Each structure stands twice: as structure tokens, then as C-alpha cells.
């Protein structure tokens, strides 16, 4: 099976004459390595408060045009119970980098949710080795932390006051602690090159990431990137397909950003290498307020209704919803 070089990946990204073949190959490799089952991960966006300054993100601390919220631990646990009752086997807890959720508070939430017999993923940003270790001991199974871009100059431009090295460190700490580790990048950031996207994919391979989320950048009007061009759906899809071909048995979500940029984008992604969907199971009032980018495709239905409608969609493309926890390679 192909193990592409930087030059080869860049050439594939550049050339649009063989996209259909690329997507078909990624779909075949998906089927051979992880089968036809789709894993549904119930996503709880429990706080949109964030001290970071990422230039592309609507949750950035400088954005005053957003109504902030923070769910109480008991309410987070209620959301999780609701999702488990609707059939979810994985809960993903995601938030801005909100220091209210101390190590001890997080550990309490984690152990309560783990009592529900689910796999638990965290996506709460950069924390100390000590915190990551405590979360793991409390029962967390997986952790998502996108590198966003491996181009260190672009990283610096996009993340004032943040440190690329620390992000790398966090990723290697998560791996060392035994988390299933998720990474990924944004496609279409201003001044991003195809070469740097190729390097992102090679980095995923080097890290031996267990999950990769790739989504197009969508310009948010309340950020410094207002008025810049959105990322390209097809380019994001190609980066995802190459990632599938190179990392084979990992879990790859059809991202919400893909669905937001293109109607049916998520279904197209599922047919081009993806095998995971992360439906929003946060209480309805909060879903809209977690506005990382504008127009985010969020469900209007309640948790159970939405899951049922997704199941129908999944069946209609000849796939089925997994009943397992969906660890890597399962």
C-alpha cells in the first residue's frame, strides 16, 4: 500500500484530474481496515469560555459578540445520560480552554460518566502532564487535540501567545499516557500551502494518531480573519482521503465543518474514507452558542430523534451504525 512522500502528497493535492479515483481508493481502504460500521460519538460542548486567542475561532477570548455559557458538572452528566439512553457508546466532552474545570472537577465528571459504561473522549485543549494523567486515571479513554497546522510560521501567526512546541508536547504526553490520541488540521487557513498540508499528513503518520479530524476553515465575522476566503471542501476531502490511505485503520470523522460548507458534505466524506460521525448531544439552547465558525450545521431535533434520522441516512448509503465502543481497529 502506498506510503507517500511529501512531494507525492503535494502532487495529489495539486492535481484534480484523479479525485474520483482517490476517493474510491480511500473508501476501499476504509472498508478493508475498519469495515462498514459507522461509530456515532455523542458530542457535549459544555463550555464556550476560552482563554485562547486563535485567530480563526469564534470562541477566542477577544470576541465580545458571543453569549458565553458554562454547564454545571451535574448538567454535563445529565447530557451524557441522555445520550447514553439514546444509544451512544462514546461520549465526547469538548469545551474552550476554560480554567473553571479544574483537574478535580474534570475527574469527578469523568468518573461519573464512566459509570455509564461508555468510552469517553476529552477535547479540552492544552493541559499539564499531571492533569492528563489524572484524567486518564479517572477513566478517560481518548483525547482530541488538533495540531491545526504543522507550518510553524503559520502556527505562530494564527495563535498569538501560544507555543507550537507545547502543543506537540501535549500530543506526545497523551500518547505516552496511553490515550487513543486524536489530531488533525484546518484546511484553507490564509497563506497555508499545499506543501504544509502534506507535512500535516506526514506528521499524523509519525505521531501514529488514532483519530484524525480534518475540516475546512470557515471565516468567522467576529474574528481577525473576517472577510478571508473559506477553505475548499474538495481540498479538505482530499487531505482526509490521503490520511485514510496512509494511516489505514484509524478512526476518521466526517466533520461538521464539511457538512457546513457543503450540503451532504458529511455523507460524501463517509464515502471518501471517513467512518465516524460526532452528533451534537448538548442541550438545545447551548448548541447554537458554541459558534466556532458561522453557520455550523447543528441538529434541531432532540437527541433521540436526531440519532434515528442519522441511522436512516447511514442505512441509505449501505452502511450500519456500530454497537461497540469503536476503539481503533475494531
Q: Which residues bind ligand 5AD (CB under 6 A)?
A: 56-57, 146, 148, 186, 215, 217-218, 220, 257, 292-293
Query: Cα separation of 137 and 73, whole Å?
Result: 19
Which is nearer to ligand 5AD, 143 or 217 (by Cβ)? Answer: 217
We find the least distance from the C-beta atom of residue 203 to ligand 5AD, in angstroms, to be 15
In order, the DSSP letters of 180-242 are: EEEEEEEE--TT--HHHHHHHHHHHHHHT-SEEEEEE----TTSTTTTPPPPPHHHHHHHHHH
Q: What minimum distance in Å lies between the beta carbon of 147 and ligand 5AD?
A: 9
CB of 90 closer than 8 Å to CB of 119: yes
* CA–centroid distance for 102 within its chain: 23
Cβ atoms 282, 47 nearer than 8 A: no
* 125 vs 326, beta carbon nearer ligand 5AD: 125
Residues with Cβ < 8 Å from 80, sequence gap 6 or more?
42, 44, 91, 112, 113, 116, 118
Q: How far is the CB of 330 from ligand 5AD (least distance, A)?
A: 24
- Tell me the closest approach of the beta carbon of residue 11 to ligand 5AD, in angstroms: 25
CB of 122 to ligand 5AD, least distance (A): 12
CA atoms within 13 A on the CB side of 7: 0
User: In the complex, what is the shortest distance from the CB of residue 2 to ligand 5AD, in angstroms, rounded to a whole number?
Assistant: 26
Q: Cell match 499516557: residue?
A: 177
Q: Which of 103, 129, 70 is nearest to 289 (CA)?
A: 70
Rank residues 220 and 244 by Cβ distance to ligand 5AD and give the closer one. 220
CB of 57 to ligand 5AD, least distance (A): 4
CB 223 within 8 A of CB 61: no
Nearer to ligand 5AD, 212 or 218 (CB): 218
Judged by beta carbon, residue 111 or residue 228, the one nearer ligand 5AD is 228
Q: Which is nearer to ligand 5AD, 218 or 239 (CB)?
A: 218
Residue 221 dihedral angles phi and psi, to the nearest 5°: -65, -20
Q: Are 149 and 155 in contact (CB under 8 A)?
A: yes
When the beta carbons of 59 and 106 are compared against ligand 5AD, the nearer one is 59
Amino acid at each position: 500500500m502506498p506510503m507517500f512522500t511529501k512531494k507525492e502528497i503535494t502532487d495529489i493535492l495539486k492535481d484534480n484530474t484523479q479525485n474520483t479515483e482517490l476517493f474510491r481508493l480511500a473508501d476501499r481502504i476504509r472498508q478493508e481496515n475498519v469495515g462498514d460500521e459507522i461509530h456515532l460519538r455523542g458530542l457535549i460542548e459544555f463550555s464556550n469560555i476560552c482563554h485562547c486567542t486563535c485567530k480563526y475561532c469564534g470562541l477566542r477570548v477577544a470576541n465580545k459578540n458571543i453569549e458565553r455559557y458554562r454547564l454545571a458538572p451535574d448538567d454535563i452528566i445529565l447530557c451524557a445520560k441522555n445520550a447514553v439512553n439514546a444509544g451512544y457508546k462514546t461520549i465526547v466532552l469538548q469545551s474552550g480552554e476554560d480554567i473553571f474545570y479544574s483537574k478535580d472537577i474534570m475527574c469527578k465528571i469523568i468518573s461519573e460518566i464512566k459509570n455509564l459504561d461508555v468510552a469517553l473522549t476529552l477535547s479540552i485543549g492544552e493541559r499539564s502532564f499531571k492533569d492528563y494523567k489524572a484524567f486518564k486515571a479517572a477513566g478517560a479513554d481518548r483525547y482530541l487535540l488538533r495540531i491545526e497546522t504543522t507550518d510553524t510560521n503559520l502556527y505562530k501567526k494564527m495563535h498569538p501567545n501560544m507555543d507550537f512546541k507545547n502543543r506537540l508536547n501535549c500530543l506526545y504526553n497523551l500518547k505516552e499516557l496511553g490515550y487513543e490520541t486524536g489530531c488533525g488540521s484546518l484546511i484553507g487557513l490564509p497563506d497555508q500551502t499545499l506543501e504544509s498540508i502534506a507535512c500535516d499528513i506526514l506528521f499524523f503518520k509519525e505521531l501514529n494518531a488514532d483519530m484524525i479530524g480534518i475540516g475546512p476553515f470557515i471565516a468567522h465575522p467576529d474574528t481577525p480573519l473576517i472577510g478571508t476566503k473559506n477553505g475548499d471542501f474538495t481540498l479538505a476531502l482530499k487531505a482526509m482521503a490521503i490520511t485514510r490511505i496512509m494511516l489505514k485503520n484509524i478512526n476518521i470523522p466526517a466533520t461538521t465543518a464539511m457538512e457546513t460548507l457543503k450540503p451532504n458534505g458529511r455523507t460524501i466524506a463517509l464515502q471518501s474514507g471517513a467512518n465516524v460521525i460526532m452528533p451534537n448531544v448538548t442541550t438545545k439552547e447551548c448548541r447554537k452558542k458554541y459558534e466556532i465558525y458561522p453557520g455550523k450545521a447543528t441538529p434541531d431535533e432532540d437527541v433521540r430523534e436526531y440519532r434515528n434520522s442519522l441511522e436512516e441516512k447511514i442505512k441509505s448509503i449501505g452502511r450500519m451504525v456500530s454497537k461497540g465502543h469503536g476503539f481503533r481497529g475494531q
